């Protein structure tokens, strides 16, 4: 394991940020810490980087106990949500910072910076100041700065959180490709489940300072350990004590014995897919997700009576998973 | 009244106020200094007493300002970055020189360092005289110019936040390297502004120094005390000429301040 955090606890006055958290991250992997705000994911990342001191627990980095080490001794690269660019330095000096601290020869620094500028597609921006760059460019510069010292571990704290939706999507594809090129063990924090599913090989779902579940994106989606994971990773309907994904409804115009009667409240066309919102006879509401062709065939419209049946659903009992 | 009329009226009032209270007196000093030509004025500020007075003012600034700069930055860092208890108290104490009249500060120094004061006797036994001597005057200058650097640096430190410093530490920089290469360059304009203000304040200090100096001409007389002394001895040319020099020095600092302010907002 490249990174292992064991039984980490951290509280800020009355607020318990991390409550006995353990995670392990395999060498060379790309792992997402996913959770709502206040779930402790950023605190965990900062504990791993040494920017926050845990009240209890241990942090191992590449087999070495790093718990007592200062940030500068850990060999980690850290990227902040708001870039933390050195505003008084040019892009070149920003990227060269770690190398010049290590007193590398000038020529070597120059060559390495040029190489990194290429890697993050900022050729020609070497003499600019961070204030002259866009948010996306600043974040790529921050990433190059973190990579310059060849860290054993790269930690990204909501790296795309301050960027607009389009740039976010571009950058996360780019991050995925970059990781394939550089292969440095990477953990990134996000509250966006789509982003986590898109980029990460492993997702650690956090809530209320605890780890709810860790695993591959597909496993989490198909076999969520509990209600929280199911509803956080992907949309979900709750009918009684059953949890049903919107694409797991079967919609029919005629009853077949196992279906329930429902009335359509609204039909929303979202390009390829169609969202059908309906109410059941007991008053509970749910929505189903259909391909457009299917919706067109059924000629769905508001006010229509139809018959629904979940193809698959989950019932969680006392924290364990069930079908 | 029309909006334009109101604006014109306001402008006239503001300019009139400035003229009567600032420009006219300073201008008159200028006029009176050179009333009898350049010669007498030049002579008045080049007497040994005058030269010594300006030299002493320079010594005050040269010692008080660097000390307050180092103290100010350290103190600002502590106030903004550390979580130590007693911060509120320190914060309140720093503003004291703003609130307390310089004369009171002078008297307080006499109470502590005078011959009958707390440390005064102990110091005198060891041949160190603080009150009615240069060390006391330096203490007074340090005291009155103490808050400026802290007060200018604290808001800048708050504004830049800790992320840049944390980024530097993850990149391998030690505490000192982080301070020198990230923190210091980030606060440089606020710091310079604070230094300019502290210099201007030290330059013009009169009240506290007047109490602790003993006003020995050619020995414990700064430029401001020299002006007063000349004035009381009816050497108006001397008083005006020395005031002139002080005014020019203050004006220079003021212009430097203005220039820096413009840099800072960019």
Q: In this predicted model, what pLDDT tens digit does every residue of B24-69 receive, in sequence order?
A: 888 888 888 888 888 888 888 899 999 999 999 999 999 999 999 9
Is A146:A187 a contact under the CB 8 Å cutoff?
no
Tell me which of A86, A109, A143, A153 to substitute to probe the interface with B (most B C-beta atoms closer than 10 Å): A86
Which of the 8 DSSP states describes residue A131? G
Same-domain pairing of B121 and B48: yes
Instruction: Decide if B169 touches A, using CB distance below 8 A.
Output: yes
Burial of B15 (0-12, 13-18, 19+ CB in 10 A): exposed
Whether the predicted pLDDT of A101 surpasses 80: yes
- Residues of B with CB below 8 A from A82's CB? 163
Q: Please give the ipTM for the structure prediction.
A: 0.86
CA angle A225, A321, A39 (to 5 degrees): 30
- Residues of A with CB below 8 A from B164's CB? 84-87
Q: What is the mean pLDDT of chain A?
A: 91
Average pLDDT over residues B102-121: 87
Contacts of B183 (CB under 8 A, 6+ apart): B77, B157, B160, B164, B165
8 Å CB contact of B170 and A86? no
Q: What is the pLDDT of residues A27-86, one digit of tens each?
A: 999 999 999 999 999 999 999 999 999 999 999 999 899 999 999 999 999 999 999 999
Same-domain pairing of B82 and B209: yes
> What does R_g of chain B's alpha carbons equal in angstroms?
22
CA angle A249, A251, A255 (to 5 degrees): 120
Can you read off the two tokens belonging to residue B218?
């050619």
Same-domain pairing of B53 and B9: no
Find the CB nearest A87 among B171, B174, B186.
Answer: B186
User: Containing domain of residue B93, as a range?
Assistant: 37-265
pLDDT band at A318 (very low <50, low <70, confident <90, very high): low
Contacts of A163 (CB under 8 A, 6+ apart): A135, A136, A139, A171
- Residues of A with CB below 8 A from B171's CB? 72, 77, 97-98, 101, 145-146, 149
Q: What are phi and psi of A34, to 5 degrees?
A: -115, 135
Is B197:B150 a contact under the CB 8 Å cutoff?
no
Same-domain pairing of B101 and B134: yes
Average pLDDT over residues A173-197: 91
Residue A314's alpha-carbon distances to A205, A224, A234, A251, in angstroms, are 19, 9, 14, 19
Same-domain pairing of B120 and B206: yes
Same-domain pairing of B79 and B181: yes
DSSP code string of B40-75? HHHHHHSSHHHHHHHHHHHHHHHHHHHHHHHHHHHH
- Residue B9 CB neighbour total at 10 angstroms: 11
Find the CB nearest B167 among A70, A78, A88.
Answer: A78
User: Nearest-CA residue of chain B relative to A155?
Assistant: B170
Q: What is the pLDDT of residues A190-230, one digit of tens each?
A: 999 999 999 999 999 999 999 999 999 999 999 999 999 99
pLDDT at residue number A322: 41
Nearest-angstrom CA–CA distance, A278 and A292? 17
Whether the predicted pLDDT of A155 surpasses 60: yes
Find the CB nearest A102 among B167, B168, B172.
Answer: B172
Helix (H, G, I), strand (E, B) or coil at A316: coil
Same-domain pairing of B13 and B46: no
Q: Indicate the angle between helix axes A135-148 and B163-170, nearest 10 degrees.
A: 30
Same-domain pairing of B43 and B7: no
Nearest-angstrom CA–CA distance, A201 and A30? 6
8 Å CB contact of A87 and B168? no
Helix (H, G, I), strand (E, B) or coil at A179: helix
Whether the predicted pLDDT of B127 surpasses 60: yes
Q: What is the mean pLDDT of chain B?
A: 89
Q: What is the CATH number of the domain that holds B133?
A: 1.10.3720.10
Q: What is the pLDDT of residues A242-301, one digit of tens each?
A: 899 999 999 888 888 888 899 999 999 988 899 999 999 888 899 999 999 888 888 888
Nearest-angstrom CA–CA distance, B266 and B259? 11
CA dihedral of residues B195, B197, B198, B201 (deg, nearest 10):
160
Q: What is the pLDDT of residues B166-194, one digit of tens each?
A: 999 999 999 999 999 999 999 998 999 99
DSSP code string of B167-192? HHHHTT--HHHHIIIIIHHHHHHHHH
> For chain A, which residues lie within 8 Å of any Cβ of chain B, measuring from their own Cβ?
49-51, 70-72, 74, 76-78, 80, 82, 84-89, 97-98, 101-102, 142, 145-146, 149
Instruction: Determine the distance from the C-alpha atom of residue B251 to the mean position of all C-alpha atoms in its chain, rounded to a whole number.
Output: 13
Which residue is listed with tokens 């973190």?
A146
- Residue A72 CB neighbour total at 10 angstroms: 20
Whether the predicted pLDDT of A323 surpasses 80: no
Same-domain pairing of B73 and B23: no
Determine which helix (DSSP H) or strand (DSSP E) holds B196, and give its type and residue range.
helix B184-204
Nearest-angstrom CA–CA distance, A316 and A230? 10
pLDDT band at B265 (very low <50, low <70, confident <90, very high): low
Which residue is listed with tokens 């060269």?
A96
- Residues of B with CB below 8 A from A80's CB? 163, 166-167
Q: What is the pLDDT of residues B72-85, one digit of tens each?
A: 999 999 999 988 88
Q: What are phi and psi of B181, to 5 degrees?
A: -100, -20
Same-domain pairing of B133 and B178: yes
pLDDT at residue number B255: 87
Whether the predicted pLDDT of B264 surpasses 80: no
Same-domain pairing of B26 and B149: no
Domain count within chain B: 2
8 Å CB contact of B173 and A101? yes
Whether the predicted pLDDT of B266 surpasses 60: no
Q: What is the pTM of this model?
A: 0.83
Same-domain pairing of B141 and B65: yes
Share of chain B above pLDDT 90, in %: 52
What's the number of CA atoms in the CB half-sphere (13 Å) around residue A260? 17
Whether the predicted pLDDT of A320 surpasses 80: no
């Amino acid at each position: 394991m490249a990174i292992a955090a064991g039984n980490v606890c951290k509280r800020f006055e009355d607020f318990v940020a991390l409550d006995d958290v353990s995670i392990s991250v395999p060498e060379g992997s790309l792992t997402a810490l996913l959770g709502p705000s206040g779930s402790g994911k950023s605190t965990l990342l900062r504990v791993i980087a040494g920017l926050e001191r845990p009240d209890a627990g241990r942090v191992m980095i590449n087999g070495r106990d790093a718990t007592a080490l200062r940030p500068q001794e850990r060999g980690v690269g850290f990227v902040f949500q708001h870039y933390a660019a050195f505003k008084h330095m040019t892009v070149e000096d920003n990227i060269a910072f770690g190398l010049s601290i290590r007193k590398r020869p000038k020529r070597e620094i120059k060559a390495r910076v040029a190489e990194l500028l290429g890697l993050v597609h900022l050729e020609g921006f070497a003499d600019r100041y961070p204030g002259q760059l866009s948010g996306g460019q600043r974040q790529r510069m921050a990433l190059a700065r973190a990579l310059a010292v060849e860290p054993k571990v790269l930690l990204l704290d909501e790296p795309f959180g301050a960027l607009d939706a389009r740039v976010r999507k571009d950058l996360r594809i780019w991050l995925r490709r970059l990781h394939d090129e550089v292969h440095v063990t990477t953990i990134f924090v996000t509250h966006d489940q789509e982003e986590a599913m898109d980029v990460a090989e492993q997702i650690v779902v956090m809530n209320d300072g605890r780890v709810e579940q860790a695993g591959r994106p597909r496993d989490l989606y198909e076999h969520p350990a509990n209600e929280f994971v199911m509803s956080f990773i992907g949309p979900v309907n709750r009918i009684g004590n059953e949890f049903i994904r919107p694409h797991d409804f079967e919609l029919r115009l005629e009853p077949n014995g196992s279906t329930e009667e429902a009335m359509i409240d609204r039909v929303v066309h979202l390009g390829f897919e169609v969202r059908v919102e309906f109410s059941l006879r007991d008053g509970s509401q749910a929505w189903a997700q259909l391909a457009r062709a299917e919706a067109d065939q059924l000629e769905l419209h508001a006010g229509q009576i139809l018959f629904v049946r979940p193809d698959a659903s989950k019932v969680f009992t006392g924290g364990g998973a069930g079908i | 009244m029309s909006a334009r009329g109101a604006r014109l009226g306001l402008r006239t009032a503001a300019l009139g106020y400035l003229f009567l209270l600032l420009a006219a007196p300073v201008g008159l000093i200028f006029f009176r200094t050179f009333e009898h030509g350049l010669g007498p004025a030049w002579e008045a500020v080049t007497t040994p007493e005058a030269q010594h007075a300006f030299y002493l003012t320079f010594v005050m600034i040269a010692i008080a300002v660097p000390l307050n700069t180092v103290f100010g930055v350290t103190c600002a860092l502590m106030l903004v970055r550390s979580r130590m208890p007693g911060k509120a108290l320190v914060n309140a104490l720093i503003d004291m020189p703003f609130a307390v009249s310089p004369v009171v500060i002078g008297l307080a120094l006499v109470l502590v360092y005078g011959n009958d004061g707390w440390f005064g006797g102990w110091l005198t036994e060891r041949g160190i005289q603080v009150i009615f001597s240069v060390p006391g005057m330096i203490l007074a200058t340090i005291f009155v110019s103490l808050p400026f650097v802290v007060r200018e640096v604290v808001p800048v430190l708050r504004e830049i936040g800790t992320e840049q410093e944390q980024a530097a530490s993850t990149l391998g920089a030690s505490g000192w390297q982080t301070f020198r290469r990230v923190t210091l360059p980030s606060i440089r304009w606020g710091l310079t502004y604070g230094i300019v203000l502290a210099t201007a304040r030290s330059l013009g200090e009169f009240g506290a120094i007047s109490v602790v100096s003993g006003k020995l001409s050619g020995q414990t007389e700064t430029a401001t005390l020299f002006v007063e002394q000349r004035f009381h001895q009816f050497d108006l040319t001397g008083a005006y000429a020395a005031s002139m020099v002080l005014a020019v020095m203050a004006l220079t600092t003021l212009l430097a301040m203005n220039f820096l302010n413009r840099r800072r907002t960019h």
